[in-house]
Amino acid sequence: MSLRDWYPLALSRDITPGTSAGTRVEGHEFVVWRDAGGAAHIWEDRCPHRGMKMSFGFVRGDHIACLYHGWQYDSEGQCRHIPAHPDLDVPATIRIARFAVLEAGGIIWGCFNEVDGNLPRAPELPAATTPVRSLFIDCPAQRLTALIADIPFEGSAPNVTTRTGRIVGITLGDNVLIAAVQPVSGSESALHLIATGALESQHLKQISTWSEQLRREVEALTSKDNDGEIAA
Protein backbone atom coordinates (compact mmCIF):
# COMPACT_ATOMS: atom_id res chain seq x y z
CA MET A 1 0.00 0.00 0.00
CA SER A 2 1.44 3.40 -0.89
CA LEU A 3 -0.80 5.98 0.89
CA ARG A 4 2.27 7.59 2.44
CA ASP A 5 0.60 10.80 3.48
CA TRP A 6 -1.75 11.68 6.31
CA TYR A 7 -5.34 11.04 5.27
CA PRO A 8 -8.34 12.55 7.06
CA LEU A 9 -10.73 9.78 8.15
CA ALA A 10 -13.35 11.17 10.52
CA LEU A 11 -14.14 14.03 12.85
CA SER A 12 -12.72 13.22 16.29
CA ARG A 13 -16.15 14.06 17.74
CA ASP A 14 -17.86 11.36 15.65
CA ILE A 15 -15.78 8.50 17.02
CA THR A 16 -16.68 8.67 20.71
CA PRO A 17 -14.95 6.42 23.26
CA GLY A 18 -16.19 2.86 22.94
CA THR A 19 -17.33 3.16 19.30
CA SER A 20 -16.04 2.15 15.89
CA ALA A 21 -16.74 2.90 12.23
CA GLY A 22 -15.57 1.58 8.90
CA THR A 23 -13.89 3.82 6.36
CA ARG A 24 -12.00 3.55 3.08
CA VAL A 25 -9.01 5.27 1.52
CA GLU A 26 -8.51 4.72 -2.21
CA GLY A 27 -10.72 1.69 -1.83
CA HIS A 28 -8.75 0.09 1.04
CA GLU A 29 -10.94 -0.73 4.03
CA PHE A 30 -10.08 0.35 7.56
CA VAL A 31 -11.76 0.42 10.92
CA VAL A 32 -11.42 3.53 13.07
CA TRP A 33 -12.19 2.96 16.72
CA ARG A 34 -11.68 4.63 20.05
CA ASP A 35 -11.04 2.70 23.23
CA ALA A 36 -12.65 3.51 26.57
CA GLY A 37 -9.51 5.44 27.56
CA GLY A 38 -9.97 7.80 24.60
CA ALA A 39 -7.16 6.62 22.29
CA ALA A 40 -8.03 6.33 18.59
CA HIS A 41 -6.93 3.31 16.52
CA ILE A 42 -6.82 2.60 12.81
CA TRP A 43 -6.61 -0.99 11.70
CA GLU A 44 -7.17 -3.07 8.68
CA ASP A 45 -10.93 -3.76 8.61
CA ARG A 46 -10.60 -7.49 8.51
CA CYS A 47 -10.84 -10.11 11.21
CA PRO A 48 -8.11 -12.78 10.83
CA HIS A 49 -10.61 -15.50 11.69
CA ARG A 50 -12.90 -15.48 8.67
CA GLY A 51 -12.24 -12.05 7.22
CA MET A 52 -15.39 -10.36 8.44
CA LYS A 53 -15.33 -6.59 8.98
CA MET A 54 -14.08 -5.45 12.37
CA SER A 55 -16.12 -2.26 11.92
CA PHE A 56 -19.26 -4.33 12.43
CA GLY A 57 -17.92 -5.31 15.85
CA PHE A 58 -18.04 -3.53 19.16
CA VAL A 59 -15.64 -2.03 21.65
CA ARG A 60 -15.34 -3.16 25.24
CA GLY A 61 -12.81 -1.25 27.32
CA ASP A 62 -9.53 -1.40 25.39
CA HIS A 63 -10.57 -4.43 23.32
CA ILE A 64 -12.52 -4.57 20.09
CA ALA A 65 -14.59 -7.69 19.47
CA CYS A 66 -15.57 -9.15 16.13
CA LEU A 67 -19.34 -9.43 15.76
CA TYR A 68 -19.27 -12.85 14.15
CA HIS A 69 -17.62 -15.26 16.57
CA GLY A 70 -16.54 -12.82 19.27
CA TRP A 71 -12.76 -12.96 18.85
CA GLN A 72 -11.33 -10.11 20.92
CA TYR A 73 -8.31 -7.98 20.09
CA ASP A 74 -6.35 -5.70 22.40
CA SER A 75 -5.21 -2.21 21.42
CA GLU A 76 -2.00 -3.67 19.94
CA GLY A 77 -4.09 -5.64 17.48
CA GLN A 78 -3.24 -8.91 19.19
CA CYS A 79 -6.04 -11.46 19.56
CA ARG A 80 -6.54 -12.15 23.27
CA HIS A 81 -9.68 -14.18 23.54
CA ILE A 82 -11.48 -16.77 21.42
CA PRO A 83 -14.87 -17.57 22.99
CA ALA A 84 -15.04 -21.03 21.42
CA HIS A 85 -11.69 -21.89 23.10
CA PRO A 86 -11.72 -19.81 26.29
CA ASP A 87 -8.66 -21.55 27.78
CA LEU A 88 -6.48 -21.24 24.70
CA ASP A 89 -3.35 -19.14 24.94
CA VAL A 90 -3.92 -17.33 21.65
CA PRO A 91 -0.91 -17.58 19.30
CA ALA A 92 0.95 -14.29 18.75
CA THR A 93 0.48 -14.67 14.99
CA ILE A 94 -3.23 -13.89 15.23
CA ARG A 95 -3.16 -10.14 14.98
CA ILE A 96 -4.56 -7.32 12.91
CA ALA A 97 -2.42 -4.79 11.02
CA ARG A 98 -2.40 -1.39 12.70
CA PHE A 99 -1.60 1.99 11.18
CA ALA A 100 -0.29 5.33 12.40
CA VAL A 101 -2.92 7.66 13.77
CA LEU A 102 -2.98 11.25 14.96
CA GLU A 103 -5.60 13.80 15.85
CA ALA A 104 -5.23 17.39 14.68
CA GLY A 105 -7.78 20.14 14.24
CA GLY A 106 -10.55 17.88 15.54
CA ILE A 107 -9.93 15.33 12.77
CA ILE A 108 -8.58 11.79 12.97
CA TRP A 109 -5.77 11.24 10.44
CA GLY A 110 -4.23 7.97 9.36
CA CYS A 111 -1.02 7.11 7.55
CA PHE A 112 -0.92 3.69 5.97
CA ASN A 113 2.62 3.16 4.89
CA GLU A 114 4.28 1.00 7.44
CA VAL A 115 7.86 2.00 6.80
CA ASP A 116 9.06 2.52 10.39
CA GLY A 117 10.03 5.71 11.98
CA ASN A 118 9.55 7.98 9.00
CA LEU A 119 6.10 9.40 9.20
CA PRO A 120 5.28 12.39 7.02
CA ARG A 121 4.93 15.79 8.69
CA ALA A 122 1.70 16.18 10.63
CA PRO A 123 -0.94 18.44 9.08
CA GLU A 124 -0.75 21.94 10.51
CA LEU A 125 -4.13 23.02 11.77
CA PRO A 126 -5.36 25.53 14.34
CA ALA A 127 -5.84 24.17 17.84
CA ALA A 128 -9.20 25.88 18.49
CA THR A 129 -11.70 24.42 16.08
CA THR A 130 -15.38 23.51 16.05
CA PRO A 131 -16.35 20.30 14.28
CA VAL A 132 -19.09 20.85 11.69
CA ARG A 133 -19.77 17.56 9.93
CA SER A 134 -18.51 14.90 7.53
CA LEU A 135 -20.26 14.43 4.20
CA PHE A 136 -19.86 11.56 1.79
CA ILE A 137 -20.05 12.55 -1.84
CA ASP A 138 -20.05 10.55 -5.07
CA CYS A 139 -17.23 12.47 -6.69
CA PRO A 140 -13.46 11.89 -7.02
CA ALA A 141 -11.46 13.83 -4.40
CA GLN A 142 -9.58 16.05 -6.87
CA ARG A 143 -12.73 17.10 -8.64
CA LEU A 144 -14.44 17.83 -5.32
CA THR A 145 -11.52 19.94 -4.17
CA ALA A 146 -11.70 21.92 -7.41
CA LEU A 147 -15.47 22.47 -7.22
CA ILE A 148 -15.73 23.43 -3.57
CA ALA A 149 -15.60 27.18 -4.21
CA ASP A 150 -18.35 27.08 -6.85
CA ILE A 151 -21.33 26.76 -4.53
CA PRO A 152 -22.56 30.11 -3.19
CA PHE A 153 -23.07 30.50 0.54
CA GLU A 154 -26.03 32.70 1.50
CA GLY A 155 -25.82 34.39 -1.88
CA SER A 156 -22.09 35.06 -2.12
CA ALA A 157 -19.21 33.06 -3.50
CA PRO A 158 -16.94 31.23 -1.07
CA ASN A 159 -13.39 32.38 -0.92
CA VAL A 160 -10.73 29.70 -1.04
CA THR A 161 -7.77 30.98 0.95
CA THR A 162 -5.40 28.01 0.96
CA ARG A 163 -5.03 24.66 -0.72
CA THR A 164 -2.42 22.30 0.64
CA GLY A 165 -2.79 18.73 -0.45
CA ARG A 166 -5.99 17.47 1.07
CA ILE A 167 -6.65 20.60 3.14
CA VAL A 168 -8.66 23.49 1.77
CA GLY A 169 -9.08 26.75 3.71
CA ILE A 170 -12.35 28.37 2.80
CA THR A 171 -14.29 31.44 3.94
CA LEU A 172 -18.06 31.31 3.85
CA GLY A 173 -19.46 34.72 4.81
CA ASP A 174 -17.98 35.37 8.27
CA ASN A 175 -17.11 31.74 8.85
CA VAL A 176 -13.56 30.53 8.42
CA LEU A 177 -13.63 26.83 7.59
CA ILE A 178 -11.21 24.08 6.84
CA ALA A 179 -12.27 21.25 4.57
CA ALA A 180 -10.23 18.04 4.68
CA VAL A 181 -10.88 15.81 1.70
CA GLN A 182 -10.64 12.03 2.01
CA PRO A 183 -10.28 10.05 -1.21
CA VAL A 184 -12.62 7.17 -0.35
CA SER A 185 -12.32 5.47 -3.72
CA GLY A 186 -11.80 6.46 -7.34
CA SER A 187 -15.35 7.80 -7.46
CA GLU A 188 -16.19 8.75 -3.87
CA SER A 189 -14.90 11.27 -1.33
CA ALA A 190 -15.58 12.35 2.20
CA LEU A 191 -15.47 16.01 3.15
CA HIS A 192 -14.61 16.64 6.79
CA LEU A 193 -15.56 20.20 7.73
CA ILE A 194 -14.29 22.10 10.72
CA ALA A 195 -14.56 25.79 11.62
CA THR A 196 -11.87 27.84 13.28
CA GLY A 197 -12.99 29.34 16.57
CA ALA A 198 -16.33 28.82 18.26
CA LEU A 199 -19.54 28.85 16.24
CA GLU A 200 -23.19 29.04 17.24
CA SER A 201 -25.62 26.35 16.21
CA GLN A 202 -27.41 28.74 13.85
CA HIS A 203 -24.20 29.20 11.84
CA LEU A 204 -23.38 25.52 11.94
CA LYS A 205 -26.81 24.87 10.41
CA GLN A 206 -26.21 27.39 7.62
CA ILE A 207 -22.89 25.75 6.80
CA SER A 208 -24.54 22.34 6.89
CA THR A 209 -27.21 23.53 4.42
CA TRP A 210 -24.49 24.85 2.14
CA SER A 211 -22.63 21.55 2.29
CA GLU A 212 -25.80 19.64 1.32
CA GLN A 213 -26.20 21.88 -1.72
CA LEU A 214 -22.52 21.30 -2.52
CA ARG A 215 -23.15 17.54 -2.38
CA ARG A 216 -26.18 17.81 -4.68
CA GLU A 217 -24.49 19.98 -7.28
CA VAL A 218 -21.18 18.16 -7.27
CA GLU A 219 -22.91 14.80 -7.68
CA ALA A 220 -25.06 16.15 -10.51
CA LEU A 221 -21.93 17.42 -12.28
CA THR A 222 -20.07 14.17 -11.67
CA SER A 223 -22.85 12.03 -13.05
CA LYS A 224 -22.93 14.32 -16.11
CA ASP A 225 -19.15 13.77 -16.51
CA ASN A 226 -19.73 10.03 -16.33
CA ASP A 227 -22.59 10.10 -18.85
CA GLY A 228 -20.31 12.09 -21.16
CA GLU A 229 -17.62 9.43 -20.84
CA ILE A 230 -20.06 6.68 -21.66
CA ALA A 231 -21.35 8.62 -24.68
CA ALA A 232 -17.81 9.40 -25.89
Nearest approach in angstroms of CB 91 to ligand FES is 15
CB 8 within 8 A of CB 192: yes
List of residues 6+ apart from 70 with CB closer than 8 A: 81, 82, 83
Which partner, ligand FES, another protein, none, binds residue 224 by CB below 5 to 8 Å per kind? none
Which partner, another protein, ligand FES, none, binds residue 50 by CB below 5 to 8 Å per kind? ligand FES
Which partner, ligand FES, another protein, none, binds residue 75 by CB below 5 to 8 Å per kind? none
Which C-beta is closer to another protein: that of 13 or that of 163?
A: 13
Please give the biggest Cα pair distance in the chain: 66
Which C-beta is closer to ligand FES: that of 3 or that of 90?
A: 90
Distance of CA 98 to the CA centre of its chain: 15
Tally Cβ neighbours within 10 Å of residue 224: 10
Which partner, another protein, ligand FES, none, binds residue 143 by CB below 5 to 8 Å per kind? none
Nearest approach in angstroms of CB 68 to ligand FES is 4
Nearest approach in angstroms of CB 33 to another protein is 12
CB 81 within 8 A of CB 71: yes
For ligand FES, the binding residues (CB under 6 A) are 47, 49-50, 52, 66, 68-69, 71
Span between the terminal Cα atoms of the chain, in Å: 33
Report, in angstroms and rounded to the nearest whole number, the Rg of the chain calculated over CA atoms: 19
Nearest approach in angstroms of CB 21 to ligand FES is 17
